[in-house]
Amino acid sequence: MNLDRDRARVALQEITAMQDGELDKYVSYVKGLPATIMQNGLGQALATLLAASKGEKRDDHYRLYTQLEEWLCRVNRHSPYHGKNNLMRAITSGTEEDYILAQGEALAYLHWLKKFATAYLSGKGQQQGETS
């Protein structure tokens, strides 16, 4: 399977599986993260997501971090941190070449997460609030 199609397939699965949380906020986070990565680097951007989640695994910042961790650490020959189980540890102990590859791959994967989040989740959080 082609890598970009694989990114799209996994991103679509992630987005369509999302049913809870503040989905409009998630859409905002996923839209803003590529610019944050470009401005501050992947490690800083991910550390910011973790800090914003305050350790709450149900938080949408943490959800986005986890989606990137699963993608960048998956067991796949294209994965920059193939088979690692902790993305921040992989970033801080990996090579500069791995980091550059991971940053590019994160941006490519976020492209699909952002497109599908906008298509499937925008306004969904408000609709949930109206029916609750």
The 3-state secondary structure of the chain, one letter per residue:
CCHHHHHHHHHHHHHHCCCCCCHHHHHHHHHHHHHHHHHHCHHHHHHHHHHHHCCCCCCHHHHHHHHHHHHHCCCCCCCCCCCCCCHHHHHHHCCHHHHHHHHHHHHHHHHHHHHHHHHHCCCHHHHHHHHC
CATH topology of domain 3-125: Peroxidase; domain 1 (1.10.520)
pLDDT in tens, 79-91: 999 989 999 999 9
pLDDT in tens, 53-108: 998 888 899 999 999 999 999 988 889 999 899 999 999 999 999 999 999 999 99
User: Does residue 128 have a pLDDT over 70?
Assistant: no
Domain ranges of the chain: 3-125
What's the whole-model pTM score?
0.89
